[in-house]
Chain A
Amino acid sequence: MRGYLGIDVGSVSTNLAVLTEDGELIESLYIRTQGQPIKAIQSGIGQLKERLPKDIRIMGAATTGSARKLAGVIVGADVIKNEITAHAVAAMKVVPDVRTVLEIGGQDSKIIIIRDGVVVDFAMNSVCAAGTGSFLDHQAARLGIAIEDFGDLAAQATTPVRIAGRCSVFAESDMVHKQQMGHSVPDIIAGLCQALVRNYLNNVGKGKDIQPPVVFQGGVAANKGIKAAFEEALETEIVVPPYFGVMGAVGAALLAQEQIEQTKAETQFRGFEVSDIEYNASSFECTGCANRCEVVEIKQDLTVLARWGDRCGRWQ
């Protein structure tokens, strides 16, 4: 059986997906990165090996996410791509005529505008994380409810309260105030969902031409309350794909397939054994010039696999 592997190493989670040649998802995984990307990737690969059919042959591999370069070196990737492209490719696979992709992850949120199968515009959140998953996690924990119940609770709201959504710190104090006034938890949660959506549309989505079909993906898409708030604000139906949480990895796998089929090359994938190899990541300051670049070095035993971070290229 032939498959393509996609790995998305983000700030909060590391996602892996294996697709068949026809683009069907065979297996996917969601692991917390917990600040240790190498460990997360290795554990992911190890778990995949257990769960995949024994006769699987990985024809191509690709990495994306903020640690895509590191991940690419560790597993031997054929393609290393940014997550905007990966997410767009995955959304187009699910809804071929998609024109807007809303993506909200742990710390990043993005909007991607697609026309006729090509990304024509995009934006990512800049200096503020008020509209992202980490903030929701934090508020759920503070209210003592499971993040999984967030959406169902929001649906029970009768009169959502208004919460200032511009800044997560102010949103929190606004929420506390509304709580102390005696508003019900569902009303507060529904209000929070609306605030988050408002913030997203005013910041990330500012000036963007949002047209249906709209696909909503990323970890926060699990939250029915946010989906409903988007539907209300945009006055259109929102599609949440079945594997909304691992769309970056799915996109990466699709990109790997595209690359391998185009070039007819052998994959660079180092095999499932990479889960057992000892990798060493270290860094040093180059003293070659006044730039004092911090150079990162990835070693397997004593062999240097890759170096980066130097501006002039002398260490690469």
Chain B
Amino acid sequence: MRITFPYMGYYSPVFSNLFRKLGHDVVPPPKPSKRTLDLGTKYAPEFACLPLKILLGTYIETLEMGADAIVSSGGVGPCRAGYYTRLQEKILRSLGYDFTMYTVEPPKGHMMQLLKTLRAFVRVPVTKLFDAIVTTCLKLWYIDEIERLCHKIRPLEVKKGTSTRLMEQAVAEIDKAESYGDVRDVGRAFIKKFNEVEVEDRDPLKVGIIGEIYVVLEPSANFEVIENLNKMGVYAHRSIFLTDWVKENAFLDALRIQPEKEIRSQAKPYLNHAVGGHGENTIGETVRYAKSGYDGVIQLVPFTCIPEIVARSILPRVSRDLGIPVMSLILDEQTGLAGVLTRLEAFVDLLARRRMQSGELPA
């Protein structure tokens, strides 16, 4: 099998590595580009959301490069994305591609199906499998830790560009590390390097980033919103990291522990019903950000995303009740950065003035 999968932020090399360790050839997905989106929008239904279009475009690109198996996630609950692999499979087959589609469902209610899917991948002895999984988890964990640090340090770095370069080096080095010990050493070394970056001594404005998981995780789908905020000197905290999500949905959920309960209880006064996707999280996280002293929240909404639309219509009340400014960025096929930068700049201006008024020093 020549496996491919959706491109997602810095995680892609880790997944390539995992599939290789499981005994497969891999066609690493290219970073979503103008061509990816062109292909996606050409063959996807017009009303589908941006993630479906980007993923479809990515699959076409990788199938052209020789992939014959696609691995993607499914989903439960009232969000269309749970059905996207089926739809994409139909579209791709109608275009004449021959391949196998593997949908990895969350364990909740689909445990047997998940195990069956996973069994199809494993081509190596159990000991090697164990090693591959453990090393992959550690890689993901370090990438998340280092990226969190990057988002924190970048707005304050004295020499502009240091953090971004360091982050890219870290991902490349972690990718190269083979054993558990190597990954740990490389990870630790980069955490140390990040902590040694020369930074300004000030308290930056803090913004929480919430919304649909794919556009939150993949910078090319969200106009690099975090990097752009960082460049304006603002600390942006991403509400979703893959290791958190996997921990919550794959492991703890399978053990019938529900850590998401907390975020749901935060959302409860405003939204007490599953609306699919990250709709409840969007509300719950906003409450959490407001309570932890953040200056503002930015919601990333793929155009026509139902869970986020539901959340968006509730957010003004949350914003009013808790006094935290919220801005929604709607993401679709447009790629013009100027309009987004204007909105970000204006939002940052608004937050800075608010802080000034409340008597603290401007950031």
Q: List the interface of chain A (C-beta within 8 A of B).
A: 66-67, 81-85, 108, 118-124, 126-127, 206-209, 289-290, 311-314, 316
Contact between chains at A119 and B353 (CB < 8 Å): yes
Q: Which 3 A-B pairs have the closest CB atoms?
A: A84-B346, A313-B161, A207-B316
Stretch at the interface among B109-117, B135-143, B336-344: B336-344
B325 at the interface (CB under 8 A from A): yes
Cβ of B313 and Cβ of A289 under 8 Å apart? Answer: no
A124 x B349 contact (CB < 8 A): no
Q: How far is the CB of B189 from chain A (nearest CB, A)?
A: 21
Q: Is the CB of B350 within 8 A of A120?
A: yes
Contact yes or no, A126 B342, CB < 8 A: no
A119→B164 CA distance, assembly (Å): 32
A311 in contact with B349 (CB, 8 Å): no
**Residues 213-239 of chain B: 1 if any A CB is under 8 Å from the residue's CB, otherwise 0?**
000000000001001000000000000
The reply to whether B165 and A127 form a contact with Cβ atoms under 8 Å apart is no
B313 vs chain A, min Cβ distance (A): 7
Q: Does B94 contact A (CB under 8 A)?
A: no
Which chain B residues in 327-343 approach chain A with CB under 8 Å? 327, 330, 332, 334, 338-339, 341-343
Chain A residues near B24 (CB-CB < 8 A): none
Within 8 A of A (CB), among B300-342: 303, 313, 315-316, 319-320, 325, 327, 330, 332, 334, 338-339, 341-342
- A to B CB contacts below 8 Å, 14 in the list: A66-B342, A82-B341, A82-B349, A83-B342, A118-B354, A120-B350, A122-B347, A126-B330, A127-B330, A127-B332, A206-B313, A209-B320, A312-B161, A313-B161
Give chain A nearest CB distance to B41 CB in angstroms: 13
Task: Please determine whether A289 and B160 come into contact, CB atoms closer than 8 angstroms.
Answer: no
Does B345 interact with chain A (Cβ within 8 Å)? yes
Instruction: Give the Cβ gap from B345 to chain A, nearest Cβ, in Å.
Output: 4
By a CB distance below 8 angstroms, the chain A residues around B346 are 82-85, 119, 122
Given that A82-B349, A85-B349 are known contacts, is A311 also in contact with B224, CB under 8 Å in the complex?
yes
Q: Is B168 an interface residue (CB 8 A)?
A: yes
**B2: interface (CB < 8 Å):** no
Residues of chain B within 8 A (CB-CB) of A126 are 303, 330
Smallest CB gap from B159: residue in A:
A313
Give the shortest distance, in Å, between A10 (CB) and chain B (any CB). 11
| Partner among A120, A122, A124 whose Cβ is within 8 Å of the Cβ of B339 | A124
A312 to B163, alpha carbons, bound, how many Å?
A: 9
Contact at A118–B303, with CB atoms within 8 Å? no
Q: Does B357 contact A (CB under 8 A)?
A: yes
Q: Is A66 touching B161 in the complex (CB atoms < 8 A)?
A: no
Q: Is B80 an interface residue (CB 8 A)?
A: no
Given A84-B349, A207-B316, A311-B164, also A66-B339 (CB < 8 A): yes
CA distance A81 to B346 in the complex (A): 8
* Contact, CB under 8 Å: A312 / B165: yes
Across-interface contacts of B161 in A (CB, < 8 A): 312-314
Write the nearest CB–CB distance from A296 to chain B, whole angstroms.
Answer: 12
Instruction: Determine which of A121, A208, A290, A316 lies in contact with B325 in the assembled complex, contact meaning CB atoms within 8 Å.
Output: A121
Closest A residue to B164 by beta carbon equals: A312
Against A, the Cβ 8 Å flags (1 = close, 0 = not) of B25-36 are: 000000100000
Given contacts A311-B164, A311-B224, A313-B160, contact A127 B342 (CB under 8 A): no
Contact of B350 among A83, A122, A289, A316 (CB under 8 A): A122
Contact of A119 among B160, B319, B349 (CB under 8 A): B349
Q: Are B334 and A127 in contact (CB under 8 A)?
A: yes
| Contact partners of B342 in chain A: CB under 8 A | 66, 82-84, 124
Known: A82-B349, A121-B350. 17 other contacts (CB 8 A): A66-B342, A67-B338, A82-B345, A83-B346, A84-B343, A108-B339, A120-B350, A120-B354, A124-B339, A124-B342, A127-B330, A206-B313, A209-B320, A290-B31, A313-B160, A314-B161, A316-B160
